[in-house]
Amino acid sequence: MTTLPSGCIQQRDKETYAIRTTPTSGMVTPDDLETVARVARKYNIPQIKITTGQRLALIGLKEEDVPQVCAELPFPIAGHYVQACLGNRWCNLGVQNSLAMATAIEKRCASIPVLAKIKMGVSGCPTCCAESYVRDIGLIGTRNGWTLVVGGNSASRARIADVLATDLSTEEALDLIDRFLTFYNENGKKKQRVSRFVNEKGIDAIKEALL
Ligand code: SF4
């Protein structure tokens, strides 16, 4: 029996598997795409899907190929993701650098073990193209810095995130995300998503503990 990475999902044919590989903030280079194409051809992967979380899902893998496919892809197979819009690096409306912020979050927070998968969205202005209000943790750029929201979810038990803090510098936002994740780990239940945790705990109690 092959040891499969977490996040590898058996498909409805009960024979093949899907994996999701995660480029930071959905940014890819031509070389990355060529590598993905080469791997897909080499292992006869029948379907590649761009997911809502700016990931690439490779679908229809044979079980015995999964470890080698994961090893040859240019991006990690991660349970969490940080999606981001173009921000002020490219977008006319952008007031903050969402791409740089997403990369910084990935570096600083990705290795923190958490109770359940975490989806994050970083938007470079209040238009909120990176769906920040329906992610476990969201950042929204404003002219005064970052607004940090927590507890959003876009699934069947949809929830709009609550505002935890406003007017944060990049460093302050990263530090508060770090402390929020620690608080969630210490006070939440195993497998409890952030949206359920925030709902149960209440944003006022979370603010009181962290601000
Ligand atoms: S959220 Fe704002 S900065 Fe980001 S893509 Fe949308 S309009 Fe542009």
Distance 122 CA to ligand 1 centre (A): 10
Domain segments of the chain: what residues? 9-72, 81-210
Q: Which long-range contacts (CB under 8 A, 24 or more apart) does 152-156 make?
A: 152/121, 152/195, 153/193, 153/194, 153/195
pLDDT at res. 109: 82
For residue 158, the model assigns a pLDDT of: 97
For residue 1, name the pLDDT band (cuts at 50, 70, 90). Answer: low
pLDDT, tens digit (0-9, with 9 covering 90-100), for 114-126 = 999 999 999 999 9
If you measure from the C-alpha of residue 94 to the centroid of ligand 1, how many angstroms do you get, rounded to a whole number? 5
Task: Give residue 110's pLDDT band: very low, low, confident or very high (50, 70, 90).
Answer: confident
pTM over 0.85: yes
Of 123, 131, 135, 149, the one to substitute when testing ligand 1's pocket (max ligand atoms within 8 A of C-beta) is: 123
Sheet (strand 9-10) strand order: 9-10, 16-21, 56-62, 47-50
Give mean pLDDT, residues 141-159: 97
Task: Assign 6 a pLDDT band (cuts: 50, 70, 90).
Answer: confident
**Closest C-alpha residue for ligand 1 atom 2:** 125
Distance between Cα 148 and ligand 1 center (Å) = 16
Pocket of ligand 1 (CB under 6 A): 85-87, 91, 93-94, 98, 123-125, 127-129
User: What is the pLDDT of the chain when averaged over all its residues?
Assistant: 95
Per-residue pLDDT, 2: 73
How many helices and strands in the chain, by DSSP H and E?
7, 9
Instruction: Please classify residue 12 by burial: count the beta carbons closer than 10 Å to its beta carbon, then call 0-12 exposed, 13-18 middle and 19+ buried.
Output: exposed
Q: Give percent of the chain with pLDDT exceeding 90.
A: 91
CATH number attached to the domain at 81-210:
3.30.413.10
Cα(64) to ligand 1 centroid in Å equals 41
Q: Which two structure tokens, joined as six digits, stand for 82?
A: 């940080």
**40-49 average pLDDT score:** 98
Taking a C-beta distance cutoff of 8 angstroms, is the pair 120, 103 a contact?
Answer: no
In this prediction, residue 63 carries a pLDDT of 95
Report the distance separating Cα 114 and Cα 180, nearest Å.
11
Euclidean distance between CA atoms 47 and 35, whole angstroms: 15
Confidence of residue 80 (pLDDT cuts 50, 70, 90): confident
What value does the mean pLDDT take over residues 156-177? 97
Across 108-119, average pLDDT: 88
- State in Å: Cα 63 to ligand 1 middle: 40
pLDDT tier, 36 (very low <50, low <70, confident <90, very high otherwise): very high
DSSP state of 74: S
Average pLDDT over residues 79-92: 94
- Strand boundaries in 75-197, DSSP class E: 81-84, 119-123, 137-142, 145-150, 162-168
Task: Report the distance separating Cα 211 and Cα 206, nearest Å.
Answer: 8
